Structure 1
Amino acid sequence: MELITVTRDTRGVATLSLARAEKHNALSAQMMGELEAAARALAEDDSVRVVVLAAEGPTFCAGADLGWMREQFGMDGETRKAESRRIATALEALVALPQPLIGRVQGNAFGGGVGLVAVCDVSIGAQGLKMAFTETRLGLIPANIGPYVVARMGAVRAREVFMNARVFGAEEAVRLNLLTRAVPAEALEAAVEAEVAPYLACAPFAVRDAKALLNALAGGVTPQQVDFAIDGLAARWETEEAQAGIAAFFDKRKAPWA
């Protein structure tokens, strides 16, 4: 793998890292494919007891890769849907991990990056980071990540930030239920370790069964919800508004409504 790294320690803790720091860990087609493959491989590894989702560099994830977005400009609707599904399947693979998934969010997360934070069982963020659902500024909607972030945040909290692209900080992300805790950047490593350590004192397969039970009792994101979101984004791409907004973004000028 080129854009994702996986390391394991002797305790059975695996760290799954976004490794495209020079591009602010923006989600390209290749990166999303590697992320899905890595998650599915970890799910099959009985020696792994806890997974930490992390990222290299100062940014956790800037959202969708601009080159990938530009390519979608010229696609037909069905091809665009197939491309759109890449992030949904990557998120689904992370949600399906039988092991606890701990997010180590060291920097900014926008768009799809917020989706990655949302699928973790626990997410610890560094104070000073920024988050936003930026899609509506472009005339798009946060569709593919939508089922997962609404499941995490709840509809009432999501209404505060899901539609307006407002930037919010780590402390507000805690209140919105995206982050579990916000800590000083220098304390992030210790805070993540504090989340990991208790699991290592528990029976590993009892932890897996407890997570499966919790997920079943809580109800999860359904395939129908994912399909509905993908169809909604595909329809939005076809609008004049979205075409104008994305063109303005690439041309580095204000969108018509700004």
Structure 2
Amino acid sequence: MTLIRTDVDARGVATLTLARADKHNALSAEMMTALEKAARDLAEDGSVRAVVLAAEGKTFCAGGDLAWMRAQFDMDPDTRRTESRRIATMLGALYDLPQPLIGRVHGNAFGGGVGLVSVCDVAIGVDGTKLGFTETRLGLIPANIGPYVIARMGGTRASEVFMSARLFDAAEAVRLNLLSRTVDAGDLDAAVEAEVLPYLSCAPGAVAEAKALMRDLTGRVTEAQIDMAIDALARRWQSDEAREGVGAFFDKRKPDWQ
């Protein structure tokens, strides 16, 4: 089963597509591994000039796969930490792409899906799209996406939505600095193409070095931050709240704090 699809056109524009539409592109362990590998392969491909991150189906990405999350309750601490690292390394591979990464956010994005938006250099969303850091509703925290979210949004903006699990629309996502702009659904492909086109007249090596310099000047996401987030999520998985929140979701009931 194909979970990630990579297509490269004659111009060197790659489209990296989440292809788990039947599960709202929820990030399973296998899907995260495939996405990380695809990103690393594109990073090494000198013929690729720009990368578009897209998705099939109604939803851009519903976040982490809850069956994968639930399985972590039965893991020992070391294995749980390894699983916690999966999403961090996948996001890191996208964040470290030397090519510009343009997000084509055609539908809702929650949790890890917002993390994917955060690692894009430019992200364009469709009017009416909903986004949210929904982890705390489940007794979890948006830990592994946190370093990239804070780098994108800044602490002040992030504090408005990072802890509350409040859903917000695409227009607010622009204000919060998650999306660059919004368009009607019918104009999305043209808007993405307008972002890609200028890079095709630029020297690819210069683009890569300019992107690296921008990261250095603005403060890169560090290994220490990633490790801190991984440890925070691994600890949270051991909490009674996490077990109650995820269990309540599968039981289709309210958790005991509601």
- If the length of structure 1 is used for normalisation, what is the TM-score? 0.99
CA distance in 1, matches of 2:167, 2:77: 30
Which residue identity is paired with 2:165? A
Tell me the SS of whatever aligns to 1:177: coil
Which residue identity is paired with 1:80? R
In the other structure, the counterpart of 2:163 is 163
Which residue identity is paired with 1:103? G
In the other structure, the counterpart of 1:134 is 134
In the other structure, the counterpart of 2:109 is 109
Cα displacement (A) at 1:247: 1.2
Count of residue pairs brought into register by the alignment: 258
Q: Which runs of 5+ in 2 are unaligned?
A: none
Cα displacement (A) at 1:174: 0.3
CA distance in 1, matches of 2:87, 2:126: 24
Single out whichever of 210-219 and 158-167 deviates more from structure 2: 210-219
Identity of aligned residues (%): 71
In the other structure, the counterpart of 1:33 is 33
Cα displacement (A) at 1:237: 1.2
CA distance in 2, matches of 1:146, 1:49: 28
Cα displacement (A) at 1:58: 1.1
Give runs of aligned pairs for residues 41-190 of structure 1, distance below 5 A: 41-190=41-190
* 1:208-252 deviation per Cα after TM superposition (whole angstroms, max 9, x unaligned): 111111111111111111111111111111111221111111111
Cα displacement (A) at 1:2: 1.7
Which residue identity is paired with 1:162? F
CA distance in 2, matches of 1:239, 1:251: 18
CA distance in 1, matches of 2:211, 2:66: 36
CA distance in 2, matches of 1:51, 1:115: 17
Q: Which runs of 5+ in 1 are unaligned?
A: none
* 1:10-63 deviation per Cα after TM superposition (whole angstroms, max 9, x unaligned): 111000000000110000000000000000000000000000000011100000
Q: Does 1:236 find its partner at 2:255?
A: no
In the other structure, the counterpart of 1:246 is 246
Which residue identity is paired with 1:181? R
Tell me the SS of whatever aligns to 1:26: coil
Which residue identity is paired with 1:152? R
Which residue identity is paired with 2:157? R
Which residue identity is paired with 2:185? A
Moved over 4 A (4+): none
CA distance in 1, matches of 2:243, 2:203: 52
Which residue identity is paired with 2:126? A
